[in-house]
Amino acid sequence: MSNSVSTLNVLLYGEPIATITHVGHDRTLFAFTDDYVNDSVRPLLSLGFKDPLSNLITRFGVTQTKLMPFFSNLLPEASMRNYLAERAGVNPAREFFLLWALGQDLAGAITVVSADGESLPPNAKQEIELKSNDQAPMRFSLAGVQLKFSAVQYANGGLTIPATGKGGSWIVKLPSSRFEAVPENEYSMMELARRLGMDVPEIKLLPIEQIENIPKGIEKFGNSIFAIKRFDRVDGQAVHIEDFAQIFAVYPEDKYKKASMRNIAQVIGIEGQEQDMAEFIRRLVFNTLIGNADMHLKNWSMIYKDKRSASIAPAYDFVSTISYIADDSSALRISRSKKFSDFTLDELSHLAAKAMLPEKLVLDTAKQTVSAFHEVWAKEKNQLLLTKSMIDAIDKHVRTIPLR
């Protein structure tokens, strides 16, 4: 069976646009359909599939074991991947089969189904030998510390994690086995961002007993879950999104090291509008002030509300990580430096120049965000659902940020 040919159809908004074919020995080949290639008003799958002249890239190489980065980034990471792969009976490293198993509930407007309607082959779980040269430093990573699931909301406000099939319009994040009160931390940081004018989806902090079908024993790690409304699901319809690891064709394990905030800013400047640039700067400043050292490529996304035009997607994954692990650097280089202590107006001016953003917009937005943060934080920090140690850590950290 390992040498047999199997094909998955890739659907965008329910219409087939491409295939992924397993050609044996865990090698896969991606190809767009002729109809999609020849469609002059085709919906956008990814900015990463555009060449420098904005033409569709149509030639791709064969990948081994992993899928190409765009699809690899649709799959869960770390403990979440292992958990779901075990439930599906799939080797978590064999990405073609994992995508086959999970393809009905992916981020954005993509679904992936077997071309022939066949079931997963019995050898999908077979072991393979993997060689890893990943030397990435240990960091606080949400992918590594929380299980998160797509959930369906009941009429009474409770949520359930479906046992099989499609998920729902909410994402629920369970307590961490490693760090205290991560759901409370994220809820507080996201609510604080909303009060500062950022685009934050509807969020909830719910007692864990209001969530059905969670993994057994998880309640011993905390009493609450963080829930966020999916912004890629609106009125029962899928809205397409992609993260910046997909845009830059970077595998998940390289999400900390293959691009910078400046690179993200440049894409937003080219593809988005002035309000998208301002929103990016607000979030960049805010996450620096709260000490979020985990804003990697997968924590920034673009959304395609009209299927073709890009804008910055709503905010997600805002956590004060310095409350758990002391860190003097952001996940990505800003323009010249990762150091929080180098986050100055001069650094933002450099980012604006290199990313071709309007300098006045960048600096004015940064100053306004800093001023608003200090005002709101002073008034409301003790009303947020944070422990004293979290508040103290943020207070100490903020004093080290030179941007005023």
Q: Are residues 28 and 93 in the same domain?
A: yes
**Distance separating alpha carbons of residues 31 and 19, to the nearest angstrom:** 5
pTM for this prediction: 0.94
Show the CA angle centred on residue 90, arms to residues 152 and 237, nearest 5°.
30
Q: Residue 370: inside a domain, yes or no? A: yes
Q: Are residues 47 and 107 in the same domain?
A: yes
Q: Are residues 235 and 353 in the same domain?
A: yes
What b/e sequence results for 102-137 when a residue is b if at least 16 CB atoms lie within 10 Å of its CB, and e otherwise?
bbeebbbbbbbeeeeeeebeeebbeeeeeeeeeeee
Q: Are residues 105 and 158 in the same domain?
A: no
Q: Residue 128: inside a domain, yes or no? A: no
Q: Is 40 exposed, middle or buried (0-12, 13-18, 19+ CB in 10 A)?
A: exposed
Active-site residue (options: 243, 294, 317, 327):
294
For range 191-200, the mean pLDDT:
98
Q: Are residues 97 and 177 in the same domain?
A: no
Q: Are residues 96 and 148 in the same domain?
A: no
For range 211-236, the mean pLDDT:
93
- Which candidate, 124, 127, 95, 87, places its Cα nearest to that of 112? 95
Domain count for the chain: 2
| Percent of the chain with pLDDT strictly greater than 70 | 94
Domain that holds residue 100: 6-114
**Distance separating alpha carbons of residues 46 and 29, to the nearest angstrom:** 17
Q: Are residues 69 and 151 in the same domain?
A: no
20-30: per-residue pLDDT in tens?
999 999 999 99
Q: Residue 403: inside a domain, yes or no? A: no
Q: Are residues 81 and 223 in the same domain?
A: no
Residue 296 has a pLDDT of 96
Among the candidates 114, 130, 163, a domain finishes at 114
Residue of 120 and 398 predicted with greater confidence: 398
For range 279-302, the mean pLDDT:
98
For range 12-34, the mean pLDDT:
97
Q: Residue 25: inside a domain, yes or no? A: yes
Average pLDDT, the chain: 92
pLDDT band, residue 164 (cuts 50/70/90): low
104-141: per-residue pLDDT in tens?
999 999 999 999 988 888 888 887 665 544 444 334 54
Q: Which residues pair with 397 in a beta bridge?
A: none
Extract the tokens encoding 373. 């943060």
Q: What are the DSSP calls for 331-394, one per residue?
A: SS--SS--BGGG--HHHHHHHHHHHT--HHHHHHHHHHHHHHHHHHHHHHTTTSS--HHHHHHH
Q: Residue 1: inside a domain, yes or no? A: no
Q: Are residues 310 and 175 in the same domain?
A: yes
Residues constituting the chain:
404
Residue 15 has a pLDDT of 98
Q: Are residues 98 and 206 in the same domain?
A: no
- Which candidate, 352, 334, 355, places its Cα nearest to that of 343? 334
In this predicted structure, which of 64-73, 216-225, 370-379, 390-399 has the lowest mean pLDDT?
A: 216-225
Q: Is 270 exposed, middle or buried (0-12, 13-18, 19+ CB in 10 A)?
A: exposed
DSSP state of 307: S
Q: Residue 276: inside a domain, yes or no? A: yes
Query: Is 294 an annotated catalytic residue?
Result: yes
Q: Are residues 204 and 67 in the same domain?
A: no
Q: Residue 101: inside a domain, yes or no? A: yes
Q: Are residues 78 and 217 in the same domain?
A: no
